[in-house]
Amino acid sequence: MMRNERGALPTDVYLSSVSSLYEHRRTLVIGMLSHVVTFLLVFLKTSDPLYLACAATIVIVWVLRNLDMNRFDQQDFSGADHAAVRKWENRYIIGGISVTITCGIACGYAIAVSQDSFSELACISVTLASMISLVGRNYGSERAVLLLSSSACLPIVIGLITMRDPFMLVLAVLILPFILSTWMMANNVRAFLYENVLAAREIRTIAGQFDAALNNMTHGLFMLDGHNRVVVANERACELLDLGDKADLKDRLLGEVLEHGAGRMSLQRDKSQNLARQLDLLIKGKRSRALISISDDLFLEFSANRRENGEIVLIFEDVTARVQAEKQILQMVRFDTLTGLPSRDYFAELAQNAMIADDGLHRDIGFLVLDVAEFKHVNDTRGHVVGDKLLQAIAERLKSLAGRDAIAARLMGDEFVVLFPNKTGAKGLEERIRSLHAGLRGVYMAGGFTFNMTMSAGFVITQDRDFRLEELQIKADLALSETKARNKGGCTAFEAEMDARYLDRQKLKSDLRDAVSSGGLSLSYQPMFKPDGSRIECCEALARWTHPERGPVPPNVFIQLAEEIGVVTDITRYVLRQACRDCMNWPADISVSVNLSVLDLRGNEIVAIVAEALKETGLDPARLHLEVTESCLMDEPVKVQAILHDLRERGITIAIDDFGTGYSSLSYLDALPASIIKIDRSFVRNIREDARRFKLLRGTVNLARALGLKTVIEGVETADQLQLINKFGCADLIQGFVFSAPMPASAIEALCKQGARKRSNKSSGQRIA
Give pLDDT tens digits for 192-223: 566 655 554 455 556 666 667 677 777 888 88
Residue 334 three-state SS: helix
Looking at the structure, do residues 422 and 398 belong to the same domain, yes or no? yes
Looking at the structure, do residues 303 and 362 belong to the same domain, yes or no? no
Q: What is the pLDDT of residue 2?
A: 38
Q: Which residues, 6 or more positions from 513, have their beta carbon under 8 angstroms from its beta carbon?
A: 565, 567
Query: Domain for residue 290, yes or no?
Result: yes
Q: What is the pLDDT of residue 624?
A: 96
Q: Is-contact 66 25, C-beta < 8 A?
A: yes
CB atoms within 10 A of CB 450: 8
Looking at the structure, do residues 35 and 140 belong to the same domain, yes or no? yes
Q: DSSP character for 110? A: I
Higher pLDDT, 124 or 186: 124
Overall number of domains in the chain: 4
Higher pLDDT, 10 or 489: 489
How far is the CA of 90 from the CAs of 18, 21, 141, 173, in angstroms? 10, 11, 10, 29
Q: Is-contact 398 440, C-beta < 8 A?
A: yes
Q: What is the pLDDT of residue 521?
A: 94
Does the pLDDT of residue 3 top 50, yes or no?
Answer: no
Buried b (16+ CB within 10 A) or exposed e, 168-201: beebbeebeeebeebbbbbbbbbbbbbbeebeee
Query: Domain for residue 693, yes or no?
Result: yes
Does the pLDDT of residue 549 top 70, yes or no?
Answer: yes
CB atoms within 10 A of CB 149: 25
Does the pLDDT of residue 616 top 90, yes or no?
Answer: yes
For 99-114, write each residue's pLDDT tens digit.
888 888 888 888 888 8
Provide the percentage of residues in the chain whose pLDDT is more than 70. Answer: 89
For 121-170, write each residue's pLDDT tens digit.
888 888 877 777 776 667 667 777 778 878 888 888 888 888 888 888 88
The strand pairing partners of 312, in sequence order, are 224, 306
CATH at residue 677: 3.20.20.450
Determine the Cα–Cα distance for residues 385 and 449; give it in Å rounded to an integer. Answer: 12
For 656-680, write each residue's pLDDT tens digit.
988 877 554 566 677 778 899 999 8
Looking at the structure, do residues 174 and 297 belong to the same domain, yes or no? no
Q: DSSP character for 414? A: T
Q: What is the pLDDT of residue 522?
A: 94
- Please identify, among 326, 355, 374, the residue that sits at the C-terminal boundary of a domain: 326
Looking at the structure, do residues 252 and 276 belong to the same domain, yes or no? yes
Nearest to 227, CA basis, from 256, 263, 264? 256
Q: What is the pLDDT of residue 23?
A: 76
Long-range contacts of 140-143 (CB under 8 A, 24+ apart): 140/16, 140/17, 140/18, 140/19, 140/20, 140/21, 140/190, 141/17, 141/18, 141/21, 141/89, 141/92, 141/93, 142/3, 142/6, 142/183, 142/186, 142/187, 142/190, 143/89, 143/93
Query: Domain for residue 549, yes or no?
Result: no
Mean pLDDT value of segment 448-456: 89
DSSP conformation letters of 112-167: III--HHHHHHHHHHHHHHHHHHHHHHTT-HHHHHHHHHHHHHHHHHHHHHTT-HH
Window from 3-17, 309-323, 466-480, 504-518 with minimum mean pLDDT: 3-17
CATH at residue 242: 3.30.450.20
Determine the Cα–Cα distance for residues 740 and 715; give it in Å rounded to an integer. Answer: 11
Higher pLDDT, 204 or 7: 204
Q: What is the pLDDT of residue 200?
A: 43
Does the pLDDT of residue 95 top 90, yes or no?
Answer: no
Q: Is-contact 733 538, C-beta < 8 A?
A: yes
Looking at the structure, do residues 531 and 459 belong to the same domain, yes or no? no
Does the pLDDT of residue 763 top 60, yes or no?
Answer: no
Phi, psi of 395 (to 5 degrees): -65, -40
Nearest to 206, CA basis, from 139, 137, 144? 139
Q: Is-contact 593 610, C-beta < 8 A?
A: no
Helix (H) or strand (E) holding 397, with range, is helix 384-402
Query: Domain for residue 560, yes or no?
Result: no
Cα dihedral sign, 480-482-487-488:
positive
CB atoms within 10 A of CB 713: 29
Q: How confident is the model at residue 769 (pLDDT cuts 50, 70, 90)?
A: very low
Q: What is the pLDDT of residue 207?
A: 60
Q: Is-contact 568 543, C-beta < 8 A?
A: no
Question: Which residues span the domain enclosing 473?
Answer: 339-494
Looking at the structure, do residues 152 and 271 belong to the same domain, yes or no? no
Higher pLDDT, 77 or 1: 77
How many helices (DSSP H) and strands (DSSP E) are in the chain?
A: 27, 21
Determine the Cα–Cα distance for residues 58 and 62; give it in Å rounded to an integer. Answer: 6
Does the pLDDT of residue 249 top 90, yes or no?
Answer: no
CB atoms within 10 A of CB 259: 15
Helix (H) or strand (E) holding 77, with range, is none
Phi, psi of 69 (to 5 degrees): -65, -35
- Tally the C-alpha atoms within 13 A of residue 414's C-alpha that lie toward its C-beta: 22
HEC per residue, 177-199: HHHHHHHHHHHHHHHHHHHHHHC
Q: Residues, the chain, total?
A: 769
Looking at the structure, do residues 437 and 419 belong to the same domain, yes or no? yes
Q: What is the pLDDT of residue 204?
A: 57
Burial label for 8, CB within 10 Å (0-12, 13-18, 19+), is exposed
Buried b (16+ CB within 10 A) or exposed e, 532-551: eeebbbbbbbbbebeeeeee
Looking at the structure, do residues 284 and 351 belong to the same domain, yes or no? no
Query: Domain for residue 39, yes or no?
Result: yes
Q: What is the pLDDT of residue 667?
A: 63
Q: Is-contact 488 458, C-beta < 8 A?
A: no
Determine the Cα–Cα distance for residues 285 and 145; give it in Å rounded to an integer. Answer: 31
Q: Is-contact 396 388, C-beta < 8 A?
A: no
- Please identify, among 326, 354, 389, the residue that sits at the C-terminal boundary of a domain: 326
Looking at the structure, do residues 170 and 35 belong to the same domain, yes or no? yes
Looking at the structure, do residues 346 and 226 belong to the same domain, yes or no? no
Determine the Cα–Cα distance for residues 414 and 364; give it in Å rounded to an integer. Answer: 27
Q: What is the pLDDT of residue 6?
A: 44
Sheet holding 415-420: strands in order across?
407-412, 415-420, 364-372, 455-463, 491-493
Q: Is-contact 333 387, C-beta < 8 A?
A: no
Window from 2-11, 148-157, 691-700 with minimum mean pLDDT: 2-11
Q: DSSP character for 478? A: H
Residue 227 three-state SS: coil
CATH at residue 363: 3.30.70.270
Q: What is the pLDDT of residue 525?
A: 95
Helix, strand and coil in the chain, % to nearest 5: 60, 15, 25
Q: How confident is the model at residue 578 (pLDDT cuts 50, 70, 90)?
A: very high
Query: Domain for residue 505, yes or no?
Result: no
- Please identify, among 212, 240, 274, the residue that sits at the C-terminal boundary of a domain: 212
Q: Give the highest mean pLDDT range of 376-385, 468-477, 621-630.
A: 621-630
Angle between helices 117-138 and 166-198 (to 10 degrees): 20
Q: How confident is the model at residue 574 (pLDDT cuts 50, 70, 90)?
A: very high
Query: Domain for residue 130, yes or no?
Result: yes
Q: What is the mean pLDDT of the chain?
A: 82
Q: What is the pLDDT of residue 135?
A: 66
Query: Domain for residue 486, yes or no?
Result: yes
Looking at the structure, do residues 362 and 450 belong to the same domain, yes or no? yes
Q: How confident is the model at residue 655 (pLDDT cuts 50, 70, 90)?
A: very high
Higher pLDDT, 692 or 10: 692
